[in-house]
Amino acid sequence: MSSNIEERVRATLRVGVALLLLSPYLIWILQVPQWTWPAATEWMAALRNSFSQAGLSSVLAFIAGFYLFRALQSWRGSRWQSGAELALLLPNMVPALFLVMSFLSLAAPFGVLPYGFSAVVFAHVWLNAGLVAVAIDRLVHHKLGGLAETAWVLGASSRLFWRKVALPYIGGDLASVFLFVFSLCFTSFSIPLLLSGERVLTVEVAIFDAIRMEGSWDKAVLLAAFQSLMLFSLAILLPEPFWPRKPARAPLEFLVWCRGRHLVFVPALIVIVGWLKGLGSGLFMDMDMDMGVPARGVLIEALLTTAIVALSVGLFHVAFFLVTAFVSPHARLNRFLNGYLAPSPVITGFGLLLIPVDGDLINLGKLVLALSLISIPYLYRWIVHSALASVRGQVITARALGASWRSILVDVVWPQTASPLLRASGLAAVWAAGDFALSGILIGEAQTLPLVMESLLSRYRFEAAQLLMLPLVILCLLIYAIFMGAARYVSR
């Protein structure tokens, strides 16, 4: 392929990448005949609530994440290092359905399930503190590792090091991590809905109301676009985020918090204990009771459909990330991908329903596309961006030496980024396996495991639903292992 044609293909693909992500909005723009901007009274309170909730949640997640980062240092170099990181990231990795079931199962032994603003903030801190800890860990090791050791040798206090060295040096990066966590909390929907106890009006809830209460898709799309634009503007104001991707092996003794070393496992324990408890109540229930477990045929169909959807979502992500790697580096596209926020699942799902083609396989395809459109922006910012940024220098050098873009992708970028790209795709597959919101809208009478669980929950069969978590968890682990196995194979 000549260089000119290659450049043209890259330019077209860049536009394609942006259009694909924006497609839910574009479909609605084409379909909505008349637009009405919601009155300020309808969304100002929602905006205020979203800001205060997300602001407090992300500040506390940062504080907790900072201490967890220090606790994580004590595991550096030990064989528990990877396990400690996995434990910190687990709440972010599991589908929302798992978290809801864990909450329900954990509620009983600890008395009354806490409700209200504080419960919502606590849940967000629990979800995101580990993510913050790992992000700070990567930043400090890659950007401040040497400086931290020097400061230690020179006898500087830890506080002085953070104030005078760390914050001025990695302040911009920390702000990007903060914004990422802030946007996760800002757009969080199920947690405020389930744990607020009463009704807390957030922007996502206002979008939900515009759709369900008024049938005003125009208002809902405008609110979603407004939310997206606002977070996008904040992302533009910040420096380009940089999350180094490889963990360091050596601990930074200077920053270790030994007494809290076991705390790194707490976020994961909450998920696992909650799930095991639910599983236990399913396994040891009264055997005389009619559990209402669906017929084997339904379960096999659900298992196969879930596996197909999850694997396809993972593959879609691999293809998308490969295309993004092919068209990168490109400053404007990178800015867009780092700031863009997908619209809510209902807007995306119903947007795809407007495409006038139907059928079993087509609906599965729409579901795969919808799930991908929602998870790609998060995974790009969380994992893929840093992977691509880490090889940017080599790409520029290879290009200066006359390598074609195709050769750069296959021989330079892919070998070094395959592992994080496949990890991100594996995560997307796991999230997709746990979806029931979009599946319920898009795939008609077909069944997935989460839909079977939802059906059981709405027919009093709580124990049976909890029991079905077992095959779902096994399937998720299997799918993630497939992607990790592929990563190991291609990186060998």
Part in contact with another protein (CB under 8 A); list of ranges 67-75, 210-218, 268-276, 469-477: 210-218
Q: Of the candidates 94, 87, 99, which has an alpha carbon nearest to the alpha carbon of residue 123?
A: 99
| Nearest approach, Cβ of residue 65 and another protein (Å) | 27
**CB nearer another protein, residue 77 or residue 116:** 116
Whole-number Cα distances in Å, 26 to 216, 225, 347, 348: 17, 11, 11, 11
**CB nearer another protein, residue 242 or residue 431:** 431
Exposed, middle or buried: residue 471 (CB in 10 Å: 0-12, 13-18, 19+)? middle
Instruction: Decide if residue 16 touches another protein (CB under 8 A).
Output: no
Go through 223-241 and write b for each residue having 16 or more CB atoms within 10 A of its CB, e for each that does not. Answer: bbbbbbebbbebbeebeeb
Using the 8-state DSSP alphabet, how is residue 341 labeled?
A: -
| Nearest approach, Cβ of residue 2 and another protein (Å) | 20
d(CA 492, CA 487): 8
Exposed, middle or buried: residue 30 (CB in 10 Å: 0-12, 13-18, 19+)? exposed
Instruction: Decide if residue 460 touches another protein (CB under 8 A).
Output: yes
Q: Pick from 231, 325, 379, 451: which binds another protein (CB under 8 A)?
A: 451
Q: Pick from 79, 159, 286, 332: which binds another protein (CB under 8 A)?
A: 286
Whole-number Cα distances in Å, 430 to 183, 233, 437, 478: 21, 30, 15, 9
CA angle (351, 93, 71) in 5-degree steps: 145
**CB nearer another protein, residue 258 or residue 289:** 289
Go through 1-17 and write b for each residue having 16 or more CB atoms within 10 A of its CB, e for each that does not. Answer: eeeeeeeeebeebbeeb
Q: Of the candidates 293, 309, 319, which has an alpha carbon nearest to the alpha carbon of residue 433?
A: 309
Instruction: Decide if residue 19 touches another protein (CB under 8 A).
Output: no
| Nearest approach, Cβ of residue 121 and another protein (Å) | 14
**CB nearer another protein, residue 159 or residue 290:** 290
Instruction: Decide if residue 452 touches another protein (CB under 8 A).
Output: yes
Instruction: Decide if residue 126 touches another protein (CB under 8 A).
Output: no
Contacts of residue 205, defined as CB under 8 A and 6 or more positions apart, other chains included, come to 46, 189, 192, 193, 199
**CB nearer another protein, residue 45 or residue 333:** 45
Binding mask 28-67 toward another protein (x if CB under 8 A, else -) reads ---x-----------------x------------------
Q: Pick from 50, 74, 105, 390: which binds another protein (CB under 8 A)?
A: 105
Binding mask 218-257 toward another protein (x if CB under 8 A, else -) reads ----------------------------------------
Q: Pick from 83, 251, 260, 294: which binds another protein (CB under 8 A)?
A: 294
Q: Pick from 11, 108, 250, 258: which binds another protein (CB under 8 A)?
A: 108
How many binding residues for another protein (CB under 8 A)? 83
Part in contact with another protein (CB under 8 A); list of ranges 18-26, 85-93, 149-157, 304-312: 304-312
CA angle (393, 398, 404) in 5-degree steps: 130
Q: Pick from 54, 61, 94, 104: which binds another protein (CB under 8 A)?
A: 104
d(CA 369, CA 61): 31
Whole-number Cα distances in Å, 259 to 67, 74, 369: 11, 9, 46
Report the 10 Å Cβ neighbour count for 470.
14
| Nearest approach, Cβ of residue 107 and another protein (Å) | 5
Site for another protein in 383-442 (CB under 8 A): 410-411, 414-415, 418, 437, 440-441
In order, the DSSP letters of 365-385 are HHHHHHHHHHHHHHHIIIIIH
Instruction: Decide if residue 458 touches another protein (CB under 8 A).
Output: yes
Binding mask 465-484 toward another protein (x if CB under 8 A, else -) reads -----------------x--
Q: Pick from 121, 456, 475, 476: which binds another protein (CB under 8 A)?
A: 456
**CB nearer another protein, residue 318 or residue 369:** 318
Site for another protein in 349-378 (CB under 8 A): 349-350, 353-354, 356, 358, 361
Instruction: Decide if residue 445 touches another protein (CB under 8 A).
Output: yes
Q: Is the dihedral of CA 332, 330, 315, 433 positive or negative?
A: negative
Alpha helices in 111-198 (DSSP H): 117-139, 145-153, 158-160, 167-186, 190-195
Binding mask 167-206 toward another protein (x if CB under 8 A, else -) reads --------------------------xx-xxxxxx-----
Binding mask 311-350 toward another protein (x if CB under 8 A, else -) reads xx-xx--x---------------------------x--xx
| Nearest approach, Cβ of residue 69 and another protein (Å) | 33
